[in-house]
Each structure stands twice: as structure tokens, then as C-alpha cells.
Structure 1
Amino acid sequence: MTDPQIVCPSCRTEIKLTEQLAAPLIAETRRQFEKQLQAKEADFGRREAQLRAAQEQIAQAKAAIDQQVAAKLKAERAAIAQAEAAKAREAVADEMSNRDRQLAELHEAIVSKDAKLADAQKAQAEMMRKQRELDEARREIDLTIEKKVQESLVAVRDKARLEAEDSLKAKVAEKETQIAGMQRQIEELRRKAEQGSQQLQGEALEIELESQLRARFPRDLVEPVPKGEFGGDVIHRVIGPGGQACGAILWESKRTKNWSDGWLVKLRDDLRAAKADIALIVSTALPKGVDGFDLIDGVWVAEPRFALPLSLALRQSLIDVACSKLAQEGQQTKMEMVYAYLTGPRFRHRIDAIVERFTEMQSDLDRERKTMMRLWAKREEQLRGVLDSTAGLYGDLQGIAGRAMQEIESLDILLIEGKSEAAE
């Protein structure tokens, strides 16, 4: 261990000390430092007391200065208030004079504006009067145009009405000619009937019976039996709801005064020849003891007024029998029935009837189309003439009235189109 060294405060030289010499020296040095510290603390206490005394003096001086400043401020504020009041009075006086001057200027401006307003009102009244006159002139022009257009439309309507009347008269004349021809035919038939021709009377009853059956049963096949062939007068083939043939009814019509039993035998033979199911005689003369209708020897006999009711019952009986037979037939399948129907004559007849109706409808449609196209072309020319006349009238009025006339855009377009067409 090395010996401790100390530095001399006066000569700043290092002195090596032994342990025996260092201990008393250190204790002495500590006592000196403690004395110096106590002296410094006492000095600090004195200085602190001096500072507190100086602060109290400064506070007292500050309070005195504040009082002086407050007194000066109060005096200065009073002076400033007096000066500002004087300035305010002067400013108010100036402002009042400015306001008086402005009021005078405003009064002059109001007087000038009133004069201008009066002039403007007079000008507006004059303008409104001119506008009213212009509106009246415009309305007069519009009324004139409307009258001209109305007159043109009336002329077009009259012309169209006359054409329609001519066409209608032609059709009426044609119909009257047809009616006259039919009346002549009716008179001819009536004359022959009055002559007592039983053949014509029977044919009339046959035709009437055929038309009644067709009207009542539109789905069934009602066909007249050709003259000279065995088989009655009318063959009525009954068609069921499913389109299947259910049987046939053979009709014989008689318009005589006396009944003949030989008709029954002949109609039974005709029934077998025509392969029908039911035979029926419609006659004005019935056997003795028969009232309305009856079944005699397998042949139905009825008056003309019972023909349709009896046909309803007989037709329904044939349909019921056919449906029961169809229910009992289990060997033939639906496909075979459809095939038989499609390859049979009934289907061909139906298709031919449909094609004929469609062909007739197509022909009627073509005729109507040609007629309407001709009428449309005619109406288009008429309308074009009316529009050209209206556009020309509008151009004449516009040339007379000038810019005072209100423009009509649609008529301007017509005028432009007319000029372009004329140029071409």
C-alpha cells in the first residue's frame, strides 16, 4: 500500500504522509472546514434577513407607486373622457349633418326615381297595350288559320263521306240486286209449291231438316243422300266427345197429306243399305193412333216439331252405347285408335275443312289488305293536300304579319319540306 499524499494549499506541492501523521492532519482539516461552513451559514442568514427587509421596502415602495399611478390614471381617464365626449359630440354633429345631407340627396333621388317610375309605368302601359293588340292580332290570325283548316277538314270529310256514301250505295245496290234475285227465287219456289209439287215440298223439308241438324250438332257429320241412291234423305253420323264415331241416324222427310205404311218397309231397307243404326221418318202425316212421335216396327216416326228433341235423345243413346262398347273393348289400345283415326277419312275431312276455312280467311285478308292500302294511299294524298294548303296559308300570313306572328314549328318544317321538294 502506497503512502497517502496531500497537496499543500500555499505551494501546491504534494506531500507524502505516513499513517501516524495523516490522522491528526485530517481531523484538523475537518474542524477547519466545519468552522468555515458555520461562518458561511451565518453569513447566509444575515443576507437572507437583509433580502427580506429589502423585499418589504420594495413592496412598500410598489404600493406607494401603485397609489400614485392609480391617482394619475384616474385623472388622465377623466381628461380622456372629457376629450372623447367633446370628440363624440363633434362626431355626432358631423354625422347628423352628413345624414341631413344624405336625406336631402335621397329625397332628390326618390323624386327623380318617381319621375322615372312614372315614365316607366307609362311605357309599360303602352307596351301592355301593344302586347294586347299583338295578342288580339295573333288570336285573329290563329282563328283565321283554324277556320281555314276547319274548312279544309270539312271539305275532306265531306269528300270522304260522299265517297263512303257512293261505296255504300254501290254495296246496297248490289245487295238489293241479290235480294231481288233471291226474292225471285223465293217467288218461283212459292209458285211451284202452290202448284202442289210434292217433290219440291219434300226437298224444302229435307233442306230445312239438314240445316237444323247441322246448326244443332256442329261436330256431327250431316250429309244429304244423293238423288237416285237408296238410303233415305239425310244421313246423320254421330261423333262422340272424344271424336269417335258412335253411329248413324237415317232421316227420311215426308210432306204429304196421307200416311203410307210402305214407307216403313222402304226405310228399313234403306237403313240396311246405308249401314245406319236408327231410322227416323219426319212427316206431316202420321199413322193413326200416333200423337207427336212413336216407334213403329223398328222405325221412329215423328212430326217436324219433334224432330230435334227426338234427335237429341237418339243421339245421346248412340253415344252411350258406343262409350259402353268402347269400355268393353280392351284389346284395342289408344295408340291403335289414334292411328285408325289419323288414317281414316274423318281426320282427312276435318283437316280439309280447316284448310278450306284458313284459305278463305287468307283470301278475305288479302282482299281487305288491298282495299285498305288503296284507301290509305287516297287518304294520304288528301291529308298531304290539306297540310300543303295549311302551310301555304301560314306562309302567306307570316309574310303579311312579319315577325309579329308567332312561329309554328310544325308548319315551318312543312314549308321547308315543300321548298325542298319543289327544288328537286
Structure 2
Amino acid sequence: MSELKIQCPKCSNEIELTEQLAGPMVADLQASFNAELAARDAKAADALAAAHAQAKTAAQAETAAEQAALHDRVKAQDEKLREAQAAQAAALKREQELKDKEAEMELTLQKMLAQERPALAEKLAREADEKAALKMAEQAQVMEGMKRQIEALKQKSEQGSMQTQGEAAEIVLEETLAAAFPIDAFVPVAKGVSGADVRQNVTGPNGVAGSILWESKRTKNWTAGWLAKLRDDQRTSGCEIAVITSQALPDGVESFGMVDGIWVCAPRYAVPLASSLRQGLIDVAGAKGRAMGQETKMEMIYDYLTGTQFKQRVDAIVERFEDMQDNLRKERVFIERQWALRAKQIDLVIASTVGMHGDLQGIAGRSMPEIESVETLLIGKDA
């Protein structure tokens, strides 16, 4: 043990602290320290117990406060829930009332419609009839306007003097007959000279067998005075036969026929009629050469030319010609129908293309470039 010294409080002398001397003192100090430590531990334990009790009391108070606050919140939420449930019930009630009112209104409306349906149907039918009548009237007006325009265009296209039209008809008649009978001689009547239009000198085996005097008419109405004038022209010219070709025919004549000693025919029957008439002249001329002076045979031939047999022969020729004309007309109608169908298809394609181009222009605006081919289609269609 280290050498320790202590000072006496009374005499201030230093006393060496030995083991024998320090032992009791240390024991006393140890006991005093242990007692003080035990007292301190007890006091700390008491303080800890008091603090724990206080904390427990505070926690209990806080828990009670929290429970009270929670109870208040639950109560408030219950109150709000009851209010929400009441509001929902009221809303459901109002919704049901609205549905009931709507159902009632629907039923009332259906009843009203059921009551007014006959009157409404009658009104609609009357309005539809009025609209249809108005549309028909408008269409009739449009058609009438189109007819007037067509008539005006037709009159415009047929402009020109009657003299010019007559001369054109004469030329057509002369060229048609000359092409059909190239061996005959055709002598047109000079302008300004009274008479018919064309004289056909029929050439037979022994020369000129006779003559046919042709008069061409191009008017809308038949005039009976033409017959008397052509008879005078026939006597003046010395022709054996006289024929009037006209678009307008007298009553009772549909294709050709003899009226007061003058043959009358439509222009398209001129060639077959001329073929029959010129053959009759050739037959008569041959009979004259074989039986010169035999009046009886001449009378027989005249009876033949003016009788039923000759007319039947002409009818047969004309019927065959009509069959040919009918076949030609059917072919023309078929070709025109095909042409019109294809033209309509082309127009539809052009219209669809132009419509698509217009739609794209409406979407793209000015940024859409011009397509020259579409413009070409439009120009070609308008042309």
C-alpha cells in the first residue's frame, strides 16, 4: 500500500496513514458511502416511481383526451353520415319524382300524339301533295323552258331561206338518184325557170326509154296544190311519170302512193320507187319496139302500169327496202345507245375525279397544287 499521510485537524500534525489506522476509517467511509448510495438509490427509485406514476397519469389523461376527441370526431362523422344519407335519400326521392314526372309527361305526350296523329298525318300528306304538285309544276316549267330553248335552237339551226333549203333538197335528191342509176341522165331545172326540180331520162337497151319528173318538197305540211302544178309541169316537159318527194305526206299515204295521177313518196323511198318506175318505162319502151302500131298491147301495158300488179311489184321492192332501212335503223340505235352509255360512264368518271380534286382542295387549301390534267378533263367535258 502506498504511504499516505493525513493532517490532524486539532494539532495540524501529519499522521502517517497505516493499514491498521486506515482500515476502520475506510470501513466507516465505505459504510457511509454505501448508506448514502442506498439512500440515493431509494430516492431515485421513489422519484422514478413518482415520475412513472405521473407519466402514467398524464398518459391516461392524454388517452382519455384522445378518446374524447375521437368520440367527438366519430360523433361528428356520424352526424355528417346521417346528413349525407338524408341528402342522398332526398336526392333519390327527387330523382324518382323527376322520373315519375318524365313518365307522366311521356304518357301525356303519347296521348296527345295519338290524338293528333290523324290530323298530323293528314297535314303531312297534304304538304307532301302540295310539294309534289309544286315540284311537278316546277319541272313542267323547266321542261317547257327547255322545249322553248330546244325549239329556238332548232329554228336557229334551220335558219336560212326556203329557197336555200329547197335547193339543198334538190341537190340531195339529184345526187341520190344519180348514184343509184348511173346510166341515166339527170337534167336539173335551171334556177328561175318554171318547172319541177330534176328530170330523169331513163336509159334502156335501145336508148332513152322515157323520163321521170321529180319535184322535191321540204316543208312541215302537205299542200294539195303541188299536184296540179306538177301535172302542168309534166305536160309541159312531156315526161311520162311525175313524182313528188316530201317529208309531209297527204292523208292515206304512209310511204308512197299515187294521188291524182302523181306519184308521192317520202324521200327515203325515192330510190326503190324510181327503180320500179324506170323498169316500167323500160318495159313499155321494149313493148313499143316489138309491137309498133299495136294499140291493144299499148293499152295492156298502160293498164299494167296503172293496175294492181304493178303496184304490188313496187310494194315488194319497197318492203325489202324498208327491211333494209329497219335493220340499218336498229344498228344505228344500238350503236348510239352504246355510245351514250360509254359517254355517261366517262362523264361519271370525270365527275368523280373532279369531285375528289375539289375535296382535296377544300382540305389542303392553297397548298394544294393545281393539276393540269383535271383542268383538261373539265375543258374536254365542257367541250
The TM-score range, normalised by the shorter chain, is: 0.3 to 0.5
When the two structures are superposed, what TM-score results if normalisation uses the length of structure 2? Answer: 0.35
Q: Which structure has more RCO (C-alpha within 8 Å, separation ≥ 6)?
A: 1
